[in-house]
């Protein structure tokens, strides 16, 4: 009797614990989500949100490529992306009635290809129903951010290194054929083959890059061509660099284009689970013998604001003296010159920097982070220079500025921004770096 009671008490105490220890759909670490579809693994890597300079940055610049210009600042929320390209085996597990006409014999777990953008959408629809996860194609911005290594980026030209043969399959080392995924060197996030093997469909329709700050951008409404990113086994090594863009009809299929999947969790558990530390009160950024000191400003969207730019910092960056000086501070520069200063620092550091506006400065002054001794004349520029060209597709601009036009003379010339409102050019220049978890 006593023994039977002991067994019952043991089961009552142990079974709830065992139930709690069942492996959840999203593991506690949340850095890697692994699922199996009919025995075929699919591993999804978490990419922390953050900001980056997208396009033709200093590490990517190619004077012959104009489609990845101008470089611009992008902010992204956290997302998950597949560790490798979707393989032929996984495609067959999800789409047994929908065979691709291209399968390299003798290569297990080679990436699927000869699939159109619409084929990929059908695969994702079925994968959603099997796993219950909200899969999709990555946006072009997500793809590039992940290929660069996210917050851990070491600013490589190719995804995972500066030697293309070590990180991907290209025309020089592929034997003119695809190879099993995950056999080359991974990038900083543990992602494979983003600079070779097959190019990859993205969610976006093709459109020229817009100037300005964008938040989670995606050209998802309409268009004629869909974006594909990353080099392939059929490309020369130089055409596998991260910022290169290509676009194709969504109905087309080629033996050198495949895809990988991504998803965003609507209620990201990581945001509740992570131990959020207090942001540093100051932050230093260095570039080519120069450095800037920033102070943390508490706001709805927190940011860091720099000390005033000195004459010396302006000269080292712009290779010329400022038009005016005030207590060894650079003043008298036009808005376009200030924007160019911020752009140069962004390209050299990989940080997304913008020119501080009156709103940024007033918030910092109110929190005692900036001296209020400098005179504030309240003067605003009234004239608006009419531009020869304007880009209408400007989305998700910083709330601190209002952009009305863009002037371009040649594709490789600096982009000049035209603002309806401008700060007093007699005031010293400061830069802003947005804070993200």
Give the per-residue pLDDT at 137.
97
For 58-102, what is each residue's pLDDT tens digit? 788 776 677 888 888 888 889 999 999 999 999 999 998 876 655
Give the per-residue pLDDT at 419.
39
For residue 272, pLDDT over 70 is answered with no
Give the per-residue pLDDT at 397.
33
Q: Which residues contact 111 (CB under 8 A, 6 or more apart)?
A: 84, 85, 86, 87, 88, 178, 181, 193, 197, 198, 258
Confidence of residue 16 (pLDDT cuts 50, 70, 90): very low
Of 267 and 227, the one with more pLDDT: 227
Of 143 and 212, the one with more pLDDT: 143
For residue 244, pLDDT over 90 is answered with yes
Which of 9-13, 347-351, 357-361, 371-375 is least confident? Answer: 9-13
Mind listing the domains of the chain with CATH numbers? 32-270 (3.90.1580.10), 275-434 (no CATH)
Mean pLDDT comparison of 137-141, 208-212, 417-421, highest-scoring range:
137-141
Q: Give the Cα separation of 150 and 30 in Å (integer).
A: 16
Give the per-residue pLDDT at 11.
42
Give the per-residue pLDDT at 437.
53
For residue 28, pLDDT over 50 is answered with no
Task: State what percent of residues in the chain have pLDDT above 90.
Answer: 41
How much is the average pLDDT of 52-62? 82
In 3-state terms the chain splits into helix, strand, coil percentages (rounded to 5) of: 20, 20, 55
- pTM, whole model, 2 decimals? 0.66
How much is the average pLDDT of 40-68? 84
**Residue that the structure tokens 């880009």 belong to:** 391
Confidence of residue 434 (pLDDT cuts 50, 70, 90): confident
Give the per-residue pLDDT at 43.
95
Distance of CA 21 to the CA centre of its chain: 35
For residue 144, pLDDT over 70 is answered with yes
Query: By three-state DSSP, how is residue 158 classified?
Result: strand
Tell me the HSE value of 319 on the side-chain side, using a 13 A CA sphere: 2
Biggest alpha carbon distance in the chain?
Answer: 96
Give the per-residue pLDDT at 79.
94
Of 283 and 265, the one with more pLDDT: 283
Task: State what percent of residues in the chain have pLDDT above 70.
Answer: 75
Closest-CA residue to 213 (of 308, 71, 318): 71
Confidence of residue 435 (pLDDT cuts 50, 70, 90): confident
Tokens of 192: 């494979």
**Could you write out the DSSP letters of every residue in 77-99?**
--EEEESSPPBHHHHHHH-TT--
For 330-350, what is each residue's pLDDT tens digit? 888 888 888 888 888 887 887
The helix (run of H) or strand (run of E) holding residue 257 is strand 257-258
Mean pLDDT of the chain: 78
Closest-CA residue to 158 (of 227, 59, 233, 235): 59
Separation in Å, CA 129 to CA 97, 123, 124, 210:
16, 10, 9, 36
Confidence of residue 106 (pLDDT cuts 50, 70, 90): low
Query: By three-state DSSP, how is residue 3 classified?
Result: helix
Tokens of 342: 């911020």
Give buried/exposed letters for 39-68 (b at 16+ CB in 10 A, else e).
ebebbbbbbbbbbbbbbbbbbbbeeebeeb
Q: CB of 416 within 8 A of CB of 71?
A: no
For residue 262, pLDDT over 50 is answered with yes
How much is the average pLDDT of 278-301? 86
Q: Give the Cα separation of 32 and 35 in Å (integer).
A: 10
For 168-182, what is each residue's pLDDT tens digit? 999 999 998 899 999
Give the per-residue pLDDT at 335.
80
The helix (run of H) or strand (run of E) holding residue 122 is helix 117-131
Q: CB of 236 within 8 A of CB of 171?
A: yes
DSSP classification of residue 161: B
């Amino acid at each position: 009797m006593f023994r039977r009671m002991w067994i019952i008490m043991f089961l009552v105490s142990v079974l709830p614990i065992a139930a709690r220890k069942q492996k959840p759909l999203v593991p506690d670490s949340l850095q890697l989500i692994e699922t199996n579809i009919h025995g075929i693994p699919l591993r999804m890597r978490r990419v922390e949100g953050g900001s980056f300079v997208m396009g033709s940055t200093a590490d990517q610049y190619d004077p012959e490529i104009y489609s990845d210009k101008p470089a611009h600042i992008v902010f992204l929320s956290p997302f998950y992306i597949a560790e490798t390209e979707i393989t032929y085996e996984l495609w067959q597990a999800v789409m047994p009635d929908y065979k691709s006409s291209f399968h390299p014999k003798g290569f297990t777990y080679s990436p699927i290809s000869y699939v159109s953008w619409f084929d990929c959408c059908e695969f994702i629809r079925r994968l959603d129903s099997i796993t219950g996860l909200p899969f999709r194609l990555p946006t072009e911005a997500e793809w590039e951010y992940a290929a660069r290594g996210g917050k851990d980026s070491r600013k490589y030209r190719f995804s995972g290194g500066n030697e293309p043969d070590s990180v991907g399959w290209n025309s020089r080392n592929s034997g003119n054929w695809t190879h099993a995924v995950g056999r080359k060197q991974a990038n900083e996030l543990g992602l494979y083959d983003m600079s070779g093997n097959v190019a990859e469909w993205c969610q976006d329709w093709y459109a020229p890059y817009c100037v300005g700050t964008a938040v989670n951008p995606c050209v998802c409404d309409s268009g004629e061509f869909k974006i594909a990113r990353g080099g392939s086994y059929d490309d020369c090594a130089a055409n596998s660099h991260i910022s290169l863009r290509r676009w194709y009809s969504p109905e087309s299929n080629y033996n050198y284009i495949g895809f990988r999947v991504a998803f965003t969790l609507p209620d990201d558990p990581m945001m509740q689970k992570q131990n959020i530390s207090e942001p540093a009160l100051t932050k230093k950024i260095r570039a080519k013998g120069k450095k800037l000191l920033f102070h943390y400003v508490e706001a709805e969207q927190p940011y860091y604001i720099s000390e005033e730019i000195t004459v010396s910092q302006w000269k080292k960056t712009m290779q010329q003296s400022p038009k005016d000086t005030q207590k060894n501070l650079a003043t008298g520069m036009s808005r376009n010159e200030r924007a160019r200063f911020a752009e140069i620092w962004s390209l050299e550091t990989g940080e997304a920097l913008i020119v501080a506006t009156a709103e940024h400065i007033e918030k910092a002054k109110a929190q005692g982070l900036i001296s209020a001794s400098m005179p504030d004349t309240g003067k605003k520029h009234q004239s608006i220079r009419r531009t020869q060209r304007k880009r209408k597709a400007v989305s998700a601009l910083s709330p601190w500025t209002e952009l009305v036009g863009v002037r371009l003379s040649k594709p490789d010339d600096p982009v000049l921004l035209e603002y309806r409102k401008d700060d007093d050019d007699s005031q010293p220049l400061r830069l802003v770096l947005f804070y993200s978890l």
